Amino acid sequence: MDRSLDEFATPDTDEGTTDAETDDDAPADGGPAGGEETPADAAADAGETDPTDDGEEPSLTVRAAESTMDWTPDGAACAACEATVERRWRDDGRLVCLDCKQW
């Protein structure tokens, strides 16, 4: 159903606000309506922890992102043949020209 954005606008005053336009059961923090407590909330309140959590932070190795192609308007040297070209492609960690790229 298509609806107007005006239906979602907050009125400037309380005048004209009907019960249908307000949701008194919805909490301000966006949690469950009517004061319901989720299982995760209940476990946190009871001091329980996640049984899969061994207390150690996981060790993750994140590699920096690398481009696959480089464009330099004034040209740059190919890492293999040293020719000056505008476009170079990554090949074994080096930026090389089209002729040197192993496709």
The set of residues, in sequence order, having a beta carbon less than 8 Å from that of 31 and lying 6+ positions away, is 38
Share of the chain above pLDDT 90, in %: 31
Q: Are 90 and 69 in contact (CB under 8 A)?
A: yes
Taking CA 75 as the corner, what is the angle to CA 74 and CA 80, rounded to the nearest 5 degrees?
165
Q: Are 98 and 85 in contact (CB under 8 A)?
A: yes
Q: Are 11 and 17 in contact (CB under 8 A)?
A: yes
Q: What is the pLDDT of residue 63?
A: 85
Question: What are the residue ranges in the chain where pLDDT is below 70?
Answer: 1, 12-54
Q: Which H or E element spans position 84?
A: strand 84-91
pTM of the shown model: 0.40
